Structure 1
Amino acid sequence: MPKSKIIKAIVDDEVSLAQSLTRLQVIAHDLKNKELETWAESELVGYSSESDVPEYRHAKSINFTYSGINNMVHQVKNVPLDPGFLGMEVLEQIADVRFTQSITAFEALLDGADSSVHLDRSIFANEVDKNSNGGIQCFSIGQTIPKSFFQNALAEIKNRLLKSFLLLEEEFGCLDGLGIDVSNQPASKIERVNYEINSGVLRVQVDPPIQKDEPMSSKIAWNIIAPIITAVIGGLLVIVAQTLLGLPTP
């Protein structure tokens, strides 16, 4: 069973994702894990560029609706729009939507009773007018993203948080303090833990930690001590055997 209150709070939804990310950001800083710290910070304040957005924040959609005039006569509202009227160049720009906003703004997209989120694409009304030869005049255009996408993305963020905290607790104990005191932890252990989180949880391509050779002084010391220990243990075993057999001992 987990010992840390933060883990139980995440599982039971007693703490917001933003608070959990803040806690993880502090711990990542203690561990000098730049990848983990950057991920937590980006989720908290938003991603600085679309190229940095992780895959779970990518939504692909060519579902569009529009309100306007159809066949230059009929006024319509929120009816499906054939994506072909937007043209391939526009579709290449907007079919893959990358959400860069902060975690709180991302969560807010789930507000409301609608089953979908509609992104405003009215800026492309002229493209539709041109490609339809004036047959469709759009007052507004919306791109439809199902809310299940946002729910799945938030579940992935929660999963990554939980996995990170479970691994950290397994290695460093209870996490109820603000951070982790790693002053007495071997550097090799910290490097290994950071690698396991970055590659296994964040799925970042990082090089595994370099296996450092044991210092020569340690090897020499062990080569001297090991035979002594073996001899002492052997001598004790002989004495015990002689005692059990009733033989005289030296």
Structure 2
Amino acid sequence: MAKSKIIKDLANSSVDTITALKRTKVLVSAFNNAEISKWLDYEISGYPTDATLPSYRKVHGSLRGSYFKGSMANHMTWNNVSIPLGKMPDDIKELLLSVKFHESVEALRMLTEKSKAVGSEISKTIPADFFSNIAHFNNDPYMIITSARVIVGEHIVSNIFSVIENKLLDMLMILEKEFGCLDELDIDTTAKSEEEIEAINNKILVLVYNDNRVSIGDGNKIKDSTIASEIK
């Protein structure tokens, strides 16, 4: 069977991620599956602040900033350099370097395009009241941090799109196998039994939620830092 154009377009990158998500939303509406629809809606419109993010939207960056050592009258200064983490415990390091993207795919696309256009970096700002903790873990009372942010490479953000598109491709291929050509954006579920529909739903749900949905950093103030909508 020839592949549906909607699948070929996505596989060939002939359509953007937001268009593929909207097309898939129309297709799966026939299933009335709240979990699948919620995932599609969140990717299209963005994740609420209280929503649990999928693991592919939680990434890690590197700590960079400025600091000086010594007195105000006599000191050495380092600007926009990698800041050492010293003997920082792994759990705190995880919280510090973790960056969570709640933005819609369209907002993420604009973020990455702006980053490329101006040659800037995507970053998360670290609150100033955490600076002393970083110095403490470096066992350096003379280390005075003046700014700090977690830098996320543009390629890491771009990988979010790859994961989403791969999930959509797998989802569309399941639907095509079960219902035939998808190019009319309409599928007829009446020929399937309730058990068959449930089995299809379960296959799709596994594709969507095949990751650890535990939110790292719940209740910790670092997770409430200004997240990667910043480019500096």
> How many pairs align?
203
Deviation of the 1:117 alpha carbon: 2.7
* 1:76 corresponds to: 78
1:166-207 Cα distance to aligned partner (Å, 9 max, x none)? 1101111111223323244322221121111112454279xx
Q: How far off is 1:41 after superposition?
A: 0.9
Partner of 1:65: 64
Q: Distance in 1 between matches of 2:199 and 2:211?
A: 14
Question: Displacement of 1:85 after TM fit?
Answer: 8.8
CA separation of 1:135/1:12 partners in 2, compared to 1, >3 Å: closer, same or farther?
same
Asked if residue 181 in structure 1 is aligned to residue 183 in structure 2, the reply is: no
AA aligned to 1:152 is N
Contact 2:69–2:77 (CA under 8 A) maintained in structure 1: yes
- Aligned AA (1:59): V
Q: 1:26 and 1:176 mapped to 2: Cα distance?
A: 11
Map of 1:221 onto structure 2: none
Task: Give 2:111's aligned amino acid.
Answer: L
SS of aligned partner of 2:112: coil
Is 1:58–1:99's contact at 8 Å kept on the other side of the alignment? yes
Shift of 1:89: 8.2
Aligned: 1:110 with 2:112: yes
Q: Gapped runs of 5+ residues in structure 2?
A: 213-232
> Aligned residue for 1:121?
126
Match of 1:101 in 2: 103
Report deviation, 1:31: 1.1
8 Å CA contact 2:99, 2:124 repeated in 1: no
Q: Find the aligned partners of 2:90 and 2:192 in 1 and give their Cα distance.
A: 56
Higher relative contact order (CA 8 A, sep 6+): 2
Q: 1:187 to 1:204 in 2, by over 3 A?
A: farther
Structure 1 letter corresponding to 2:58: H
Alignment match of 2:144 (pick from 133, 136, 148) = 136
Shift, 1:150, TM fit: 1.8
Shift of 1:16: 1.2
Native 8 Å contact 2:21 2:168 kept in 1: yes
Q: Which residue of structure 2 aligns with residue 10 of structure 1? A: 10
Q: Distance in 2 between matches of 1:86 and 1:123?
A: 17
Which structure would you say has the larger Rg? 1
More moved, 21-30 vs 83-92:
83-92
TM-score, scaled relative to structure 2: 0.73
Q: Aligned pair in 2 of structure 1 residues 137, 197: CA closer, same or farther (>3 Å)?
A: closer
- How far 1:164 sits from its partner (Å)? 0.5
Tell me if structure 1 keeps the 8 A contact 2:29–2:37: yes
In structure 2, do the counterparts of structure 1 residues 189 and 89 end up closer, same or farther at CA, with 3 Å as the change threshold?
Answer: closer
Cα offset for 1:84? 3.9
Aligned-residue identity in percent:
27
Structure 2 vs 1, CA of residues 185 and 98 (structure 1 numbering), >3 Å: closer, same or farther?
same
Note the C-alpha offset of 1:159: 0.4
Identify the structure with the greater helix proportion. Answer: 1
Aligned AA (1:77) = N
Which of 168, 193, 200 is the aligned partner of 2:175? 168
2-structure distance, mates of 1:200, 1:68: 45
1:129-151 deviation per Cα after TM superposition (whole angstroms, max 9, x unaligned): 8634353241x212122233223
Unaligned 5+ segments in structure 1 are 206-250
Structure 2 distance, partners of 1:35, 1:191, is 13
What is the alpha-carbon root mean square deviation over aligned residues? 3.0
How far is 1:162 from its partner?
0.5
Structure 1 stretches of 4+ moved >6 Å: 85-89
**TM superposition score normalised by structure 1:** 0.69
- Return the alpha-carbon distance in structure 1 between the equivalents of residues 135 and 51 of structure 2: 31
Is the CA contact (8 Å cut-off) linking 2:67 and 2:79 kept in structure 1?
yes
**1:218-237, aligned counterparts within 5 Å?**
none
